[in-house]
Amino acid sequence: MLHLDLVDLLLVAGISLVTYVGCVALCLRTRWPASEVLLAAFVCNIAQIVLTQTALGLVNQLNPLNLIIVVGTTMLGLFIVICTLGNRRLDALTWPERRAELSSAWREICGCKSCVLLIGLVGAWSVWTLFLGLIFPPSSFDEFYYHMPIVASIIQSQSVLPPPSVWPWISAYPRNAELLAVWSSIFLHRDTLADLALLPQLWAGALAPFVAARRIGASRSWSILCGCLFAFAPIVLMEAKATYVDLMVGCFWSVGVAFVTPTSSKSTARGPSTHALAILTGLAAGLILGTKITGLVIAGGLLCLFVVRLAQSRTSLRSGVLQVGLVVSLMCVVGSLWYVLAFKTFGNPVYPIPIRLGKLVILPGNDAFLLPLYAATAREVAHVSQGIDRWVAAWFERQPQTNMSGQWAGLGPLWPVLGLPAVLVWGGARKRAAQCLAARAHRGSRVVFGCAPI
């Protein structure tokens, strides 16, 4: 059966690569650094996959043939656009300039043995994860409980509309992440690759802190350290082979933070314009919004960061309002459908979570379903005090093992080893020279904790 798994992998990877290369070709028509081109293309590619499947699923036509036809038509249209732009004068890097940029990056990275080692470790872990994914099917608790049932129901019904179910999360929860698992399973109707659907999120999530660090003036070697801090977080490594949704939320939060990070005067890179930034931020926030109900808060935070970025760039009021409107519109297009369907089905867009104002229930949820979960969580952390003590317990790995819960040391040693020292050194540095030294020494850890997985 392994040869069928390899055929499935090559087929899914080939179709995904075609769509990604098309997005890269479009983003290359800019003066953005290569890392930002790759990151922007990734956001556009994932949004395209989600929106294509959503549109087909709304009319009960989500099957491999229709998917290939729509994707092929989209790529043909994109090719025509790229050719049209090629005949116009654009402020884009020429191919010699792009080659010079990549050659400089290659020499700098190869000259840093630590960078080569870290990149090699990420590559080795990715290969190992692919190997495990080809041998073992999805096997974790939540995958069987509701992630894979969602994937199976979408493929079998060719629809993204909520199926009847006794489990409210199957009928009401957002499904953007599950649509990526559908993408990796629908062509051969096999679930072998379903738990590898979020592996690219590890790579993009690692690239995002790299981009953010480069924007604030860090060298490539320190920026690579930032990316590897994300990639080697225990919770990221564990969810790279799972249909859990948290990695996708953390990835696109990191991507959004990277794009709204202002470019330092020390950086020679020229990032996206404010209009392109609004599009990328809106897509990233929409993907977060449509992945998890708590994404409402996280996507809102990303929108606030975008507003702050506009204020720092002294954008005019009219232009700022238009750009914020563009971000909100894209958020709604990419991520709001699931809340509309939940409201239509249950009368509450965030079902099963009840909406209350004090003791007044505005929109009912499912307390009978939620209370056992709260009780189980309370038992898990019964020996940990509430408030900041629970954070400290997770940060300093007081638990005997690491798992996929943020309350159980999901970040591993990153905080006690790098995060806390960075805060203490930076806070204690009073003189300008000391601040510069602290910034250089701890820039990586300060960036990564701004882009830490949620």
Measured in degrees and rounded to the nearest 5, phi and psi for residue 111 equal -80, -5
Question: With 50 as the cut, is the pLDDT of residue 71 above it?
Answer: yes
**281, 261 contact by CB (below 8 A):** no
**Of 9 and 312, which is predicted with more confidence?**
312
On average, the pLDDT of the chain sits at 79
SS3 411: coil
Domains of the chain, by residue range, sit at: 2-87+103-367
Measured CA to CA, the distance from residue 38 to residue 66 in angstroms comes to: 27
Give the pLDDT confidence of 180-237 residue by residue, as tens digits. 999 998 987 888 888 889 999 999 999 999 998 888 888 888 888 888 888 888 778 8
Q: Give the per-residue pLDDT at 329.
A: 95
Which among 202, 238, 250 has a CA at the least distance from the CA of 404? 238
Tell me how crowded residue 171 is: count the other CB atoms within 10 A of its CB: 21
**50, 219 contact by CB (below 8 A):** no
For 131, residues 6+ apart whose C-beta sits below 8 A from its C-beta are: none
For 15, residues 6+ apart whose C-beta sits below 8 A from its C-beta are: 68, 71, 187
SS3 357: strand
Question: With 50 as the cut, is the pLDDT of residue 435 above it?
Answer: no
Question: With 70 as the cut, is the pLDDT of residue 242 above it?
Answer: yes
Q: Give the per-residue pLDDT at 414.
A: 64
Q: Give the per-residue pLDDT at 429.
A: 52
Which residue bears the tokens 């050719």? 83
Give the pLDDT confidence of 245-282 residue by residue, as tens digits. 888 998 999 999 999 988 876 655 566 677 888 999 99
Measured CA to CA, the distance from residue 454 to residue 245 in angstroms comes to: 10
* First-residue to last-residue Cα distance in the chain: 36
pTM of the model: 0.85
